[in-house]
Amino acid sequence: MLKKLDEHRFLIPKSFRDGMTVEGLIYANEELIKAIEQDQTMMQVANVATLPGLVGRSLAMPDAHQGYGFAIGGVAASDYQKGVVSAGGVGFDINCGVRLLTSELGLHEVKPKLDALLNQMFRDIPCGTGRKGIIGGLGAGQLDDVLENGAQWAIRNGYGTDIDLHHIEEGGKIPHADPNQVSKRAKERGRGQLGTLGSGNHFAEVQYVAEVFNEEAASLFGLREGRVVVLIHTGSRGLGHQVCTDYLEIMQDAMRKYNIKLVDRQLACVPIQSPEGAHYLGAMAAAANFAFANRQMITHWTREAFARVLGKGDLKIVYDVCHNIAKRETHKVGGEMRDVLVHRKGATRAFPKHSPEIPKDYFEVGQPVLIPGSMGTCSYVLVGTEKAMEETFGSSCHGAGRSKSRHAAKKEITAERLIESLREKGIHVRGASKSGLTEENPNAYKDVSQVVDVVHDAGIAKKVAKLVPIGVIKG
């Protein structure tokens, strides 16, 4: 049933399953499509194509794998007036995202003090499941301020400067956030977790620029070969997870009222224009702002660690992108401009040059697209393209994508052997738990270079630089 359109695009026709109102499209090569066919990803892409009010196509990026309702690596857009919003189309870790910092330090300056730097970062950045933040529990009014203002709250409270905001998606603050729509339980879970890395696939990595593919963009981004950078990957912690949990239940109950029938109850959704839709979007924006503030505070402590150990803490933000988010945007669909809500679940916005939403200093090259690999492999910086606007609602992949479950990954290698094997590659690791490390065994992920080559060759994002890790902090 899958139709190969070219070397990087595989079409799921509307005849694939009953109820599809739009086609599905998967970006992959021959090897990656075989991996994608091993789980329910293809069926999930088709299931999403049955949602009311969907426009364009239901999409999956080359890092796609099975998720809750929507595949992770999925992109779908609903008509803003007539379509639906789905909590599963954003995911549990709302605004899980990546931030890249660049330094003026060369690899030769950092390597001799790498262990001291990692030890300092590990002390300064709380990591691990349920770990509390350095600032302690926030008062109710303070937490609502965070949920409304995101990274702007963090900067107002001394965790950075206003210039940082220029290189964060949405200026570090999603508009129309409504803390009143975030449950008491969600707030309790998040209250003590601001400024924490968390567990799972979240990390802070010290890396260096190993290769540059686009000199113009790399120069504007402050990326030069041999330059040391830091990549931070985390999200909205327990608060965002609870927001998703709460609204999945609300949406499942509300669907009866709106006579919405689904092929998979995990796709629970409500009309965007309904009270429940508005409440979810307000809560989702609030959780996204919590994540922006979270990454901003981790940035501050990373800068302090660099200053303390290396004497240079002036790390500049290259960019900060959301991975799990639903955003109101305008896109051309079927030859006409449409007001849509774009769900990106494990996908990165990839807007081209001259887009009004991207930083002014990047206006002539495009938005940075940050693609982390696993802790034993490389990561990439790309830029968005016009092709992405034409085909993917301005979206690209977000990482390597899992190929094995966490349970399977843990059985493959001991933490001690994993740390030893990474050190043999020149990668030093600090982890909050042994199981947390083995779950993130690099062999549990797809080849990030293959994933990036697909989006590059398909033209939906173009390679700028390759980053290689030398030090990893894991939850």
Cα separation of 333 and 439, whole Å? 40
Percentage of the residues of the chain whose pLDDT score is greater than 90: 85
Give burial (CB, 10 Å; 0-12/13-18/19+) of 390: middle
Amino acid of residue 33:
I
pLDDT score of 18 = 96
Cα 415–231–411 angle (5° rounding)? 20
pLDDT score of 128 = 64
Q: What is the mean pLDDT of residues 349-353?
A: 98
On the question of pLDDT at 66 being above 80, the answer is yes
Query: What pLDDT digit, counting tens, does each position of 93-130 carry?
Result: 999 999 999 999 999 999 999 999 999 999 999 886 65
Do the beta carbons of residue 297 and residue 194 sit within 8 Å?
A: yes
pLDDT score of 133 = 61
With residue 10 as reference, give the H or E element that holds it: strand 9-12
On the question of pLDDT at 38 being above 80, the answer is yes
List 384's β-bridge partners, or say none: 461
pLDDT score of 376 = 82
Distance of CA 66 to the CA centre of its chain: 16
On the question of pLDDT at 135 being above 80, the answer is no
Do the beta carbons of residue 375 and residue 440 sit within 8 Å?
A: yes
The one catalytic residue in 167, 398, 428, 456 is 398
SS3 366: coil
Query: What pLDDT digit, counting tens, does each position of 399-458 carry?
Result: 987 777 777 777 778 888 888 888 888 999 988 777 778 887 777 788 999 999 999 999
pLDDT score of 412 = 77
On the question of pLDDT at 361 being above 70, the answer is yes
Widest distance between CA atoms in the chain:
64
Q: What is the mean pLDDT of residues 203-213?
A: 97
Q: What is the pTM of this model?
A: 0.96
List 395's β-bridge partners, or say none: 349
- Which residue do the tokens 């290689």 mark? 468
Alpha helical stretches, state H, 311-427? 386-391, 406-412, 415-424
Nearest to 95 by CA among 268, 250, 326: 326
pLDDT score of 129 = 63
The number of beta carbons lying within 10 Å of the beta carbon of residue 405 is 14
Q: What is the overall mean pLDDT for the chain?
A: 94
Greater model confidence, 262 or 139: 262
Greater model confidence, 201 or 238: 238
pLDDT score of 131 = 58
Active-site residue, 398 included: yes
| Domain annotation for the chain: domains and CATH numbers | 3-474 (3.90.1860.10)
> In whole angstroms, how far apart are CA 185 and each of 191, 269, 294?
10, 22, 19
Q: Please state the length of the chain.
A: 475
Cα separation of 270 and 1, whole Å? 30
Query: What pLDDT digit, counting tens, does each position of 380-403 carry?
Result: 999 999 999 999 999 999 998 777
List 462's β-bridge partners, or say none: 383
Residue 287 binned pLDDT confidence (cut-offs 50, 70, 90): very high
Exposure string for 337-367, b = 16+ CB within 10 A, e = fewer:
ebebbbbbbbbbbbbbbebeebbeebeebbb
Alpha helical stretches, state H, 125-263? 140-149, 151-156, 162-165, 184-191, 215-221, 237-254
Q: What is the mean pLDDT of residues 313-324?
A: 97
The number of beta carbons lying within 10 Å of the beta carbon of residue 380 is 26
On the question of pLDDT at 136 being above 70, the answer is no
